[in-house]
Structure 1
């Protein structure tokens, strides 16, 4: 079978599009406070996975430390990444602040869980060098 017809599980298909869009996201806690423990990180992963599912996206990887979390999200081209990030941070903040009030004091003036800033990096299966070489190797029409 031709390689172009083989199934690639990294490529998702829509009605008129084939895509493989991944973003590496990093969210910091407000003022880099050490807030998370293992139980909170597990709950945060569940919440963020549910938010991603609502956007028809997939949370591929999740991990974190006491003051930040890392996510690898596979998302469709119809999703504006900034909207997904806004929802991830907003929903997780609401749930975690409600469920872990002893660790995140909701009565403080700056009781926000997340910093206003974040990191978002695009990532894919091939390096820019490989893609550049592939484009250069295309044959012009006869």
Structure 2
């Protein structure tokens, strides 16, 4: 995730998640299309996880997709950055 962000001239500030989703806090320049960044994050991570866990990722149950086609993005401009970092840090680590 960090390398993909760097390729987009963005900074991955925090990363954590649950068994079925992840939370990322990313600082990215306004010239970057968020949909392109998310698409790249999903695509690269999907390929790497499938390669690392070959045989453990069941393509039949995921219908050929590792991630859901949807995502949620929110702005944290009004909240102190530490509050958002703490929220993400308190989530469970992805399995």
Give the alignment's TM-score, normalised by structure 1.
0.51
Shift of the alpha carbon at 1:111? 2.9
CA distance, structure 2, for counterparts of residue 98 and residue 111 of structure 1: 14
**CA deviation profile, 1:67-111 (whole Å, cap 9, x unmatched):** 1100000001221111101100111111111111232124x3713
| Ranges in structure 1 where 5+ consecutive residues have no aligned partner | 1-47, 128-142
Aligned to 1:92, what secondary structure does the other structure show?
Answer: helix
- The corresponding residue for 1:69 is 22
Q: Greater relative contact order (Cα 8 A, min sep 6): structure 1 or 2?
A: 2
1:81 and 2:34 aligned: yes
- The corresponding residue for 1:97 is 50
| Ranges in structure 2 where 5+ consecutive residues have no aligned partner | 80-95
Give the alignment's TM-score, normalised by structure 2.
0.74
Which structure features the higher share of helix residues? 2
Shift of the alpha carbon at 1:121? 0.6
Residues 102-141 of structure 1 aligned to structure 2 (within 5 Å): 102-106=55-59, 108=60, 110-124=63-77, 126=78
Which structure features the higher share of strand residues? 1
**CA deviation profile, 1:103-124 (whole Å, cap 9, x unmatched):** 2124x37131101111111111
1:49 and 2:2 aligned: yes
Q: Which 4+ residue blocks in structure 1 deviate beyond 3 angstroms?
A: none
CA distance, structure 1, for counterparts of residue 37 and residue 27 of structure 2: 11
- When the two chains are superposed, the root-mean-square deviation of aligned CA atoms in Å is 1.5
Aligned pairs, how many?
Answer: 78
